[in-house]
Amino acid sequence: MTDALATLPAPRHPDPADAPALRWGVLGPGGIAADFTDALHRHTGQRVVAAGSRSAERAAAFAAAHGVERSHGSYEALVSDPDVDVVYIATPHSEHLEHALLAIAAGKHILIEKPMAVTAEQARRIVAAAREAGVFAMEAMWTRYLPQTDIIRQLLEREALGELRVVTADFGGHVPYQPESRLWNPALAGGALLDLGVYTVSWASFALGAPAGIIAAGTLAPSGVDEQAALLLSSAGGAQALLSTSLLAGTPSLATISGSAARIETDSPFWGPSGLRVFRSDGTLAAHWRDPYGRPHRDGMAYEAAALARYVGEGRTESPLHPLAEAVDTLATIDEARRQLGATRVE
């Protein structure tokens, strides 16, 4: 066991630049769309060929700033563009259902920013529509496609940690309270859980699967959205996940998976390219892996785009590393946590 832990498996992901080239359309040219577009153009053969917004001026400005060929002054025009293979949906998650269905109806493959929708029921509608249309659909949980995640995946597949017992993850940031802004406004599906918290719930799902029990505690903002939350998730086998998220304070953004034989601790941030440490059951360090690939921070979104292109080339309709059913289950966990907290719901 000691030797196996000291020699970590190599990530199995090929270079993002080697993925088949698809033509992308960006629906919702905001900050994360800008980082996504730049990551694709820097690190892959993918190309964003069109940007669409309700504002023609905003779409044109985005296209000019990020080397995009053309722009559209409506979402309908973007999804109807015959030169677009796949639509990246980067609008606020309160609009994901509408925009996903719009793109699917136009016959486009879709990558939807996380969370896939506001509720599990909305996500199920997207999944059903994509399957009926036969198009590829994927939630943009980019953490699943990082090299470090594949190392962890291989350790879990080999049961190198022994029997899993405790999983932890945190993600918090200090966001000044502005009741009309996206993170604080219930009409825009604001709150910590549906934004930062989705990373932590997805991490627990990655390690343990869908929870058998959910206990949530936290506080609400004056607007009624959850401003801070702690979740205790339990698995059918008795393992537990301890998760926290906050809009009130920055937290370390660390995650762990602990088993009877060993534990994994990520470097910070666990949700982006960083690294990991593996400790033996006696607490001694077995190995420390640092990401060597030079795609820091949101440049790591190149991996998910490359994965999508490969899956489409293989004729798949969903990701084998992050199936649509799991994205739905993650939202079901958040649904229940928000219900327990009494968070305002606008659907």
Beta bridge partners of 218: 229
Find the largest Cα–Cα distance for the chain. 60
Do 50 and 78 touch, CB atoms closer than 8 A? yes
The one catalytic residue among 93, 96, 108, 114 = 114
The Cα 341–Cα 224 span in angstroms is 10
Q: Of 314, 337, 324, which is closest to residue 243 (Cα–Cα)?
A: 337
Q: Of 40, 107, 125, which is closest to residue 299 (Cα–Cα)?
A: 40
* Cα-only R_g, the chain: 20
Calculate the CA dihedral of residues 125, 138, 200, 123 and round it to 10 degrees.
0
**Residue 108 among the catalytic residues:** no
The Cα 184–Cα 223 span in angstroms is 7
The Cα 162–Cα 279 span in angstroms is 12
Residues 6+ apart with CB under 8 A from 324: 123, 127, 130, 137, 138, 139, 318
Beta bridge partners of 243: 169, 231
Alpha helix ranges (H) inside 74-119:
75-79, 96-105
Do 243 and 253 touch, CB atoms closer than 8 A? no
The tokens describing 305, both together, are 């785009």
Tell how far CA 73 is from the center of its chain: 28
The tokens describing 80, both together, are 């109807």
Parallel, antiparallel, or unpaired for β 213-220 and 164-172?
unpaired
The tokens describing 69, both together, are 């060929």
Residues belonging to the active site: 114
